[in-house]
């Protein structure tokens, strides 16, 4: 990882948990995707190259979307495109589904699929896992 430079290494953090069920499992939580060009340039390292490097080495890639934030920024688009060749590892998760009604969720799902279809270049439609993965009470349990 040292070839990515000190700007990256100074922000890179690790934690180790001694747990038998987690043996052999490594989770990598990348920083949030930035939407503005100014913020992206202030990172000090090439985020897309780092994402591509990790994508080549992992078994599974989870990309989380919030039902209220479906925008795919230019940086996210470049990061997903940098994962090309690893499309079979990508799993899309639509989170906080309890924050909307079933008809709203179907429209949100359709919009997400439309946006992703322009970026993820596979013959099959990507699978989207829908749920509410947080410790808050469900706002709407009809799903």
- CA separation for the pair 14, 28 (Å, rounded): 9
- CA separation for the pair 134, 96 (Å, rounded): 8
Q: Quick one: average pLDDT of 53-69?
A: 89
Q: Quick one: average pLDDT of 8-33?
A: 80
- CA separation for the pair 76, 72 (Å, rounded): 6
Handedness of CA 31, 36, 37, 38 (dihedral sign): negative
Give the highest mean pLDDT range of 25-29, 70-74, 98-102, 119-123: 98-102
Global pTM?
0.79
């Amino acid at each position: 990882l040292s070839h990515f430079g000190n700007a990256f290494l100074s922000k890179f953090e690790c934690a180790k948990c001694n747990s038998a069920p987690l043996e052999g499992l490594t989770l990598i939580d990348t920083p949030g995707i930035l939407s503005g060009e100014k913020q992206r340039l202030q990172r000090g390292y090439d985020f897309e190259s780092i994402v591509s490097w990790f994508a080549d080495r992992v078994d599974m890639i989870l990309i989380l979307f919030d039902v209220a934030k479906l925008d795919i920024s230019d940086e996210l688009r470049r990061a997903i495109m940098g994962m090309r060749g690893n499309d079979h590892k990508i799993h899309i998760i639509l989170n906080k589904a309890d924050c909307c009604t079933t008809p709203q969720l179907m429209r949100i799902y359709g919009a997400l699929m439309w946006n992703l279809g322009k970026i993820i270049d596979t013959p099959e439609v990507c699978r989207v896992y829908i749920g509410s993965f947080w410790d808050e009470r469900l706002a709407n349990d009809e799903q």
